[in-house]
Structure 1
């Protein structure tokens, strides 16, 4: 922006984030409304009274379905951030160079425009140097627990509807129902990461920072 002398509106400067957060909230609301109807239909078919919407938002059915997806996404991001430090894929736009140091590898240098943590140095800088992976790992662990908690609660509701005994939280951690929910999401995330790593070797999208230049050789690594 400083180089061109142009000024841009707040929306334009943040349009990518605004767009995806808008989609997130729209689809989360749609999920809540449709899940609310599905769960109440199941309860009524079993001869139980329906929940109101606010109660549903605190139910295991909603919590499990929501954080089951959050969990797999944050796992994907955490692994991607960490593994791309050392692992390589020749020709991929998503990989660092096979043998050259890149800007992301250099040690931080204090400057007027450097982030506050860089200026502070010491342990604050050590944490900041790994803050992206710490953030995603923390979000993954929180989401994993909430998925587990919600799945456990929802499973016990289903057990009650069938007049079967409930399981304790400790017993449920070994329940195949929970791990089935977990692995069906994890495997899709691993496939999506593998796909973008591999397909960017050969395929292009002009104008996208996730692609190599259209005329770049297939075996040229990085963007």
Structure 2
């Protein structure tokens, strides 16, 4: 039971992720087959649907925007402030008071392995969260582009048009519309979280300030 208590948040989010992806698969396969029937094309099985551009484009389009949001959030909050927000460091507190120099812990046996290595590895580890999230964004963007081109070629075939390559799809306004419609919502939701946490509370959440904390108090 200790395992589930200590990992309840990640377990629950994993279940939610799997459940919503499953819902997306079955709903998407149904929508794809309805479109195929309208055009006199054969339907596909759920397993076959997983390899279609229709599914993969939608999947990576959303993953891409989420990784962009998280990468931007992690990196921007390291350098920028919002007084009163639970999501910001206190502008009146030195950054060294928030996160001490990792070199001070390089001989600590309990410190992460990378902290106890040389300067290059320690520096990379110091920014590894932002680096990995940015890398996941780039990968998702590439996969979204490839799948979007595949989905676009199905539509082109239906209308008797020639197929397009990746570079043509990259320059296509429809592709960028797919990107921006998700990116804007991620930045908006992050902005609202930053601002609403100044005035609103959720008792017990580490994303909220204490209920009685004044509006001007910054940080958790």
Q: TM-score, normalised by structure 1?
A: 0.94
Q: Distance in 2 between matches of 1:126 and 1:26?
A: 38
| 2:32 is the alignment partner of 1:32 | no
RMSD of Structure 2 on Structure 1 (CA): 1.1
Query: Could you tell me how far apart the structure 1 residues matched to 2:29 and 2:155 are?
Result: 15
1:202 aligns with 2:199: yes
Alignment of 1:74-89 (within 5 A): 74-89=67-82
Separation of aligned partners in 2, 1:99 and 1:218? 15
- Residue-pair matches, total: 216
Matched, 1:107 2:106: no
Q: Does 1:129 align with 2:126?
A: yes
Deviations 1:8-45 (A, max 9, x none): 61011000000001100011011011101111111111
The SS at the match of 1:36 is: helix
Alignment partner of 1:172 is 2:166 = no
- After TM superposition, give the deviation of residue 122 of structure 1 in Å: 2.3
| Matching of residues 48-63 of structure 1 within 5 Å | 48-63=41-56
SS at match of 2:162: coil
Partners of 1:13 and 1:161 in 2: how far apart?
A: 52
**Which consecutive unaligned segments of at least 5 residues does structure 2 have?**
none
Structure 1 residue runs without a partner (length 5+): 1-7
Match of 1:147 in 2: 144
Q: Per-residue deviation at 1:104?
A: 4.1
Q: Quick one: which of 3, 7, 10 aligns to 2:3?
A: 10
Q: Please state if 1:220 is matched with 2:217.
A: yes
